[in-house]
A and B are shown apart, each in its own frame.
Chain A
């Protein structure tokens, strides 16, 4: 009955491992390549002789990057937007997620529907732009924080977390002891919610850190632009040429411009890539809860 190579368990297992190794390499190598290209002489990179290890260490790109003020201003803006944005987002999501997890909340299903509906239908780009103008937050840091200060998906994840981790008997017992809803939320809910807070911080922070389109639309002034917009200008609109040709010959400038691009990618991606492995056991749980019960 069992025929063919697919049914040979040993071969099958080898095949599985081979594929997984291949997948891992495909995922990691581009990131690794960008990293080693950022510290290798651009001439060597351009010639295609650098594949596995950095060759001819050359750190001019990073030196240039440190001196390039628009990038650091962008970095500062991004850090600020991420920290403030994530704090506000958590402050909105956690209490709401808790309230919606309470089965005795009158009108719970209807309220939930009003939230869920917006996941599948929304006003779109232009009405959002007009809203931002109308609220009076255009061209301010609030213009890129408030419109994304709540993600309904995250709210559902949070609600499901509370539903599955706070047993109803606990609430009943607390109520008999005269505990108010506020008291229960602050003294029992929040201390048990560390996992979900960590997950949501990661999700929101990633979102704020990577924001590109809303800042482009909702910020007018150059000096408020976050890192992603600065990087876009440098790499994709090729401003790196102008940034690195000051006081250099044309060839030297072009060489620098190319390396600066690699350095900038590293500088932007590094913080998130350094943090997520420590939080991953939490977020795997977060996604699972949200998707299964959402």
Chain B
């Protein structure tokens, strides 16, 4: 009886399913079919034989084991983790601080101008960002001109390994600070004026209002964004890392994802590269579930 009623409901909504159809086809072809393709991590995949007919790897985890035997594995894992943690600790808080600062500006025009300026770099591609870095930080670029005119010695920023991380993190902040602040700015705007009035009556300073009203009320948003950021922690922007890579900095710039690209597409080791990529995704997914569970436990905020 109930089933029949459900069926009727589904049939009655057929037009809604039609509207959903293109997206459903897309997700099957370009999201779930590739997931099925992950099977080749456990096979000796040959393009001609296809996913089904290619023989299973023996042992099943052969390609994973192979990855951990390479010297590059440790380097790539370490680089990925270090770069993500640096991004998390340095990059994550900055949009929050920027939003708090901007929230102090009561003049609408100035506020809007600063905000507009702050998003600009978000619309630039990784290629353009890295190109700008290479132009400004090259030996004859702006930064080295300033250094030499102050009597210093030119630094090979773009080729030295120790400058890879600062440039990567710094350009990331430069590019995304304004855009990532949007959500905090909106949350700050929704704080009721009553809190501020009460605080003013008590003689609170601006700094105290930020500390005791704004930051606590921003907390739910911050935690939500933190879960999302942590849930993507192993997916550091490989495009940028790949573009910044050169012969001298691979020891710090080789990430799991750039290695997957090279092993998979440049040297056609499909099964091996898929295994490496799968390892990365699984670790990432576990971290996401953990951070979600922790946040749920301590703050009632979660994405699932």
Contacts and interface: CB of A to CB of B under 8 A. Distances in A.
Interface residues of B, number: 96
A106 B264 contact: no
Given A209-B125, A265-B132, A125 B19 contact: no
B281 interface: yes
A98 B134 CA distance: 44
B96 interface: no
B30 interface: yes
B280 A124 contact: yes
B123 A276 contact: yes
Contact of B118 (A23, A91, A235): A23
B172 interface: no
> Max chain A CB contacts within 10 Å: which of B115, B127, B207?
B127
Interface of B, secondary structure class, is helix
A106 B117 contact: no
Contacts of A280: 115-116, 119
Interface in B15-48: 15-20, 22-24, 26-27, 29-38, 40, 47
Interface string A1-45: 010001111001100110110011011101101100100000000
A251 interface: no
A9 B206 contact: yes
Interface of A: 2, 6-9, 12-13, 16-17, 19-20, 23-24, 26-28, 30-31, 33-34, 37, 46-48, 91-93, 95-96, 98-100, 102, 104-107, 111, 114-115, 118, 120-131, 133-135, 146-147, 149-150, 152, 155, 180-182, 185, 206, 209-213, 217, 228-229, 231-232, 235-236, 258, 261-262, 264-265, 268-269, 272-273, 276-277, 280, 284, 287-288, 291-292, 294
A212 B120 contact: no
Contacts of B273: 125-126
> Max chain A CB contacts within 10 Å: which of B29, B132, B225?
B132
9 contacts: A9-B206, A34-B132, A48-B149, A124-B274, A126-B273, A133-B47, A149-B26, A211-B125, A287-B183
B239 interface: yes
A129 B38 CA distance: 12
> Max chain A CB contacts within 10 Å: which of B26, B29, B174?
B26
A181 B288 CA distance: 37
Given A6-B207, A269-B128, A288-B186, A123 B37 contact: yes
B10 interface: yes
Contacts of A28: 117, 120
Contacts of A133: 47
Given A48-B145, A91-B22, A123-B35, A228 B127 contact: yes
B13 A106 contact: yes
A155 B29 CA distance: 17
A27 B37 contact: no
Contacts of B29: 131, 135, 146
A171 B108 CA distance: 37
Given A106-B10, A120-B231, A209-B125, A127 B37 contact: yes
Contacts of B231: 120
Interface in B173-207: 174, 177-179, 182-183, 185-186, 203, 205-207
B31 A122 contact: yes
Contacts of B37: 123, 126-128, 130-131
B34 A92 contact: no
Contact of A126 (B18, B124, B183, B265): B265
Contact of A122 (B34, B127, B148): B34
B282 to A, nearest CB: 8
Given A27-B174, A181-B13, A124 B19 contact: no
Q: Enumerate the 3 nearest inter-chain pairs by beta-carbon distance, A residue then B residue, closest first.
A: A123-B34, A48-B145, A127-B37
Contacts of A185: 19
Contacts of B115: 280
B294 interface: no
